[in-house]
Amino acid sequence: MLRHFPPKHQKILGLSLPAAMNSLLDMLQVVTDLIMVGRISAFAVAAVGLGLQSLMFIFAILTLFHVGTSALLSRFVGAGQMKRASVGLSTLLRFALMVSLPAAVGWYFFSSHIYVWFGTAPEVVALGEDYVQVLTLMMPFVFMKLVFVSALNSAGDTKTPMKVKIVSIILNVILNYLFIFGNYGFPELGVMGAAVGTVIVNALEFLVYMFLYMKYKTPYIPMWEYSKSLLARALKVGIPASIERSLTFGSFMLFTVIIAHYGTAVLAGYQIGLRVEGLAFMPGIGFTIAAMALMGQGLGAKKPLQAREDVILVLKYTSGFMFFLSFFMIFMPEKIVWLFTDDAQTIKEASLYLRIVGVSQIPLAFNFVLSGALRGAGDSKRTLKINLISLWFVRIIPAFVLSWYFENILFVYLAMISDTFVKAIWLWVTFNRGKWMEIKV
């Protein structure tokens, strides 16, 4: 089908569509847990949803590897330096393993306090603590798997991660069916069963990538070298991005504190709304991965103007996709939310959230693509500044004030989408100025 498009469009769509599908499947793997535990109770939905959201602090650390790997390796690929790219991949794999172990231990002991801090119902606390602690077992696999996926994306191979994810999500559904509900003689673990299935699937995914790597089935040469200079170059870009994501998730957790104030039904509705919205913007994330890789490759090949043209074309496609998906969020949210729960009040609250965020999908496309492009150019410090200022002064602080004054969740959501519009404008102005062309990685 892609052969009917112009060559440049084929290149972008060939990268973007498999990456978008992989991101969509990644989110579906998360959503599967919510859908299946949603048949247990609203408490189970709130426990899993809040647990996954709190785990975002760990995923913020992963941003260091995702952005650092992409920015560094894509430049080597663009310059045709595959041996240096292979040394970079080996270095980042070893570093990911070293970081993942203390992160897993720390999170195991920290995670049990999350639900108490949020003041959730005792039923949610009891279900959630075991869930997040089991998930910590997957940390080493997730860290190194992400480095593999980012490296493949940087080399233009987005199809392999997509194929791996297709198999893993099917396996995830099967394991959930067995462990959550105790079918075919397996123990009925409920919410904890969803965590067990997720851990097994992530471990198997990593083993598949390791097998492909060792059998020369990837563009990279298998090795176990370690370069301090290449690691420093990756960290130079990755650390600001990781700090940004950490503080962003911290602000999101504060935002969740506001939501939790309105009760379990609103919190469960918000968690479901987040997952549905996540499904809607997965195409945007796929195009963002393409923008990051194309930007790095273009700059590595000393063709900054081509990189800019590629990013603009990616942005057009992303905006079109997300505009189309926004119609479903605005006009038929109840039918979508029903897949997650049959609780009437939760459906009502989740539908309200989706209608509000549906109107902000095009500026969200700008946020995704332009942030990714700037990070791919190594300009992660500027995206850090933009995201943090907008998050705190347009979203978080106004949300607290409006919630206190009006006691209405609608005004909280309006503050949230205002942040999306402000960031979109700011990122566009920053991208247009072109200072990212002068950055060295």
Is the four-CA dihedral 396, 399, 404, 409 of positive or negative sign?
Answer: negative
User: What is the tally of helices (H) and strands (E) in the chain?
Assistant: 19, 0
> How far apart are alpha carbons 47 and 130 in whole angstroms?
10
Give the CA distances from residue 17 to residues 69, 226, 375, in Å, rounded to whole numbers and listed in that order: 21, 33, 20
| Distance, CA of 288 to CA of 441 (rounded, Å) | 19
Q: Which amino acid is at 57?
A: F
Q: How far apart are CA 49 and CA 28, in angstroms?
A: 13
**Residue 386 half-sphere exposure toward CB, CA atoms < 13 A:** 24
* Per-residue pLDDT in tens (0 to 9) along the chain, 441 residues: 566 667 777 888 888 888 888 877 777 777 777 777 766 777 777 777 767 766 767 777 888 888 999 999 999 999 999 999 999 999 999 999 999 999 888 877 776 677 666 666 666 766 777 777 888 888 899 999 999 999 999 998 999 999 999 999 899 889 988 988 888 888 777 777 888 888 999 999 999 999 999 999 999 999 988 999 999 999 999 999 888 888 777 777 778 788 888 887 888 888 788 878 877 777 788 888 889 999 999 999 889 999 999 999 999 999 998 899 899 999 988 888 887 777 888 888 889 999 999 999 999 999 999 999 999 998 988 998 998 899 889 998 998 898 888 888 888 899 999 999 999 999 999 999 989 988 887
278 phi and psi angles, rounded to 5 deg: -60, -40
Residue 429 CB neighbours (<10 A): 11
Q: Which helix (H) or strand (E) covers residue 323, if one does?
A: helix 304-331
**Structure tokens that stand for 107 in this block:** 């999170």
pLDDT score of 313: 92
**What is the reported pLDDT for 118?**
63
Q: What is the DSSP letter of 332?
A: -
347 contacts 337 by C-beta, under 8 angstroms? yes
pLDDT at 438: 85
Q: Are 179 and 194 in contact (CB under 8 A)?
A: yes
Tokens of 227: 């370069």
Q: Answer for the pair 225, 90: CB distance below 8 angstroms, yes or no.
A: yes
pLDDT value of position 431: 95
Question: What is the model's pLDDT at position 145?
Answer: 95
Q: Is 348 exposed, middle or buried (0-12, 13-18, 19+ CB in 10 A)?
A: middle
How confident is the model at residue 382, as a pLDDT?
92
Return the pLDDT at 200.
94
pLDDT value of residue 414? 92
pTM score, whole prediction? 0.82
The whole-number pLDDT of residue 29 equals 74
Taking the C-alpha atoms of 63, 251, 377 and 373 in order, what is their torsion angle to the nearest 10 degrees?
100
Close Cβ partners of 415 (under 8 Å, ≥ 6 residues apart): 394, 395, 398, 399, 402
